[in-house]
């Protein structure tokens, strides 16, 4: 499996600029015959978005960009960080999420569990925590998902859950 990692530096709040960089990275990954392309946490809106999430048009632009990225996923699996609206009436208005696209379809969605609230991080103000691990396949390999703090902050946190869903990569 050939994996591409987009080491972009998203501009916080500049969805149009970030989308342009993302689409170019997709084009390059496809030209390089990659099967999997990874983007950073909240790549579409930039990180940390902080109070920009108070402006609904930023979140809406992020979701429109997500649809454009989905269309470009033909022939490649794309993992992209975005702001997902919390459609329930419970908790915070958003989730810090990763969409998994394959062949023009959303096949999985992962929501960050551990939301930092220290130093410059204020994720608990805006995001509702996720509560499910996600496993998807690329070329017959089971791959698990995590976002930042989920992996490095609580020893054994995700490994306990992923032990129930055997994976070959995280």
pLDDT in tens, 52-106: 999 999 999 999 999 999 999 999 999 999 999 999 989 999 999 999 999 999 9
pLDDT confidence of residue 112: 96
Place 115 in a pLDDT band, splitting at 50, 70 and 90: very high
Assess contact for 18 and 65: CB atoms under 8 A: yes
List, in order, residues 6 or more apart from 33 with CB less than 8 Å away: 2
- Phi first, then psi: give them for residue 157, nearest 5 degrees: -55, -65
164 lies in some domain: no
Residues annotated as catalytic are 41, 112, 148
9 lies in some domain: yes
95 lies in some domain: yes
Structural domain tally of the chain? 1
161 lies in some domain: no
Instruction: Give CA torsion, residues 66, 165, 147, 87, to 10 deg.
Output: 50
* CATH code of residue 64: 3.60.110.10
33 lies in some domain: yes
Place 155 in a pLDDT band, splitting at 50, 70 and 90: low
pLDDT confidence of residue 170: 81
With H, G, I as helix, E, B as strand and everything else as coil, classify residue 65: helix
46 lies in some domain: yes
pLDDT digits (tens, 9 = 90+) for 22-46: 999 999 999 999 999 999 999 999 9
* 74 to 134, 152, 166: CA distances (angstroms): 21, 32, 27
141 lies in some domain: no
Sign of CA dihedral 51, 61, 5, 98: positive
pLDDT confidence of residue 157: 63
pLDDT confidence of residue 137: 95
| 154, pLDDT greater than 70 | no
139 lies in some domain: no
């Amino acid at each position: 499996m050939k994996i591409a990692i987009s080491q972009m530096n998203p501009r916080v709040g500049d969805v149009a600029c970030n989308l342009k960089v993302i689409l170019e990275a997709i084009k390059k990954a496809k030209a390089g015959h990659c099967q999997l392309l990874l983007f950073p946490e909240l790549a579409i809106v930039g990180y940390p978005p902080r109070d920009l999430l108070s402006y609904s048009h930023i979140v809406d632009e992020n979701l429109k960009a997500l649809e454009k990225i989905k269309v470009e996923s033909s022939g490649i699996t794309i993992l992209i960080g975005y702001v997902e609206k919390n459609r329930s009436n419970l908790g915070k208005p958003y989730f810090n999420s990763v969409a998994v696209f394959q062949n023009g379809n959303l096949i999985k969605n992962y929501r960050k569990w551990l939301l930092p609230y220290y130093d410059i991080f204020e994720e608990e103000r805006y995001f509702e925590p996720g509560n499910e691990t996600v496993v998807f396949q690329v070329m017959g390999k089971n791959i698990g998902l995590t976002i930042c703090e989920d992996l490095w902050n609580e020893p054994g946190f995700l490994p306990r859950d992923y032990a129930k869903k055997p994976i070959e990569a995280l």
